[in-house]
């Protein structure tokens, strides 16, 4: 599994922002007001993922006093982090597209409410994306120390180091 690239998340966000702007442009008068409920939900997820990342690092490193983690759980946590970062990018893009459309009508109460809700949602989604990237980074195993007595580092008969079939 490759690490998530921020460039990929930017492409997801840009595509979702364009799609949201197009849909809102066509259907804004018939849409209900944008709720604020996504903001606390995304912020709570961000706090949980950041906290889990903070506790995961010492557990993976085997620090004294840290409870060990099941090795099969680490890929699952990494997959959760990758999915969370992609979902956060999509939410941020949708909210940004919505906010861009409403910027022209900030003097009216309904678009102003929607612009503020969209801005709050985008901010919470960006924070969730950062927490998810942090959690994914915490799932990486540290490099093992170089040990010259290890058979893998000893030259093979053909003079190369490392694993050979």
Per-residue pLDDT tens for 62-79? 777 778 778 788 889 999
Residues 6+ apart with CB under 8 A from 161: 152, 153, 154, 155
The structural domains of the chain, with segments of one domain joined by +, span 39-64+74-142
Distance separating alpha carbons of residues 95 and 144, to the nearest angstrom: 42
State the pLDDT confidence band at 100, using cuts at 50, 70 and 90. Answer: very high
pLDDT average, residue stretch 76-100:
95
- Res 163: pLDDT: 46
Per-residue pLDDT tens for 120-135? 999 999 999 999 999 9
Distance separating alpha carbons of residues 16 and 46, to the nearest angstrom: 20
Residues 6+ apart with CB under 8 A from 78: 1, 136, 139
CB atoms within 10 A of CB 71: 9
Give the angle 146-149-150 at the CA atoms, nearest 5°. 70
Per-residue pLDDT tens for 145-160? 665 555 555 555 555 5
Q: Are 97 and 12 in contact (CB under 8 A)?
A: no
State the pLDDT confidence band at 45, using cuts at 50, 70 and 90. Answer: very high
Q: Are 69 and 60 in contact (CB under 8 A)?
A: yes
């Amino acid at each position: 599994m490759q690490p998530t690239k921020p460039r990929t998340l930017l492409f997801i966000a840009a595509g979702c922002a364009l799609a949201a702007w197009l849909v809102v442009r066509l259907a804004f008068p018939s849409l209900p007001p944008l709720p604020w409920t996504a903001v606390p939900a995304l912020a709570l997820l961000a706090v949980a993922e950041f906290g889990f990342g903070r506790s995961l690092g010492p557990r993976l490193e085997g620090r004294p006093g840290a409870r060990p983690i099941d090795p099969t759980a680490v890929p699952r946590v990494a997959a959760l982090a990758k999915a969370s970062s992609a979902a956060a990018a999509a939410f941020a893009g949708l909210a940004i597209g919505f906010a861009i459309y409403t910027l022209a009508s900030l003097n009216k109460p309904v678009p102003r409410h929607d612009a503020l809700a969209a801005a709050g949602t985008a901010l919470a989604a960006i924070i969730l994306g950062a927490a998810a990237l942090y959690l994914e980074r915490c799932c990486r195993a540290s490099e093992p120390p170089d040990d010259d007595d290890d058979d893998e580092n000893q030259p093979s008969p053909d003079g190369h180091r490392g694993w050979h079939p």
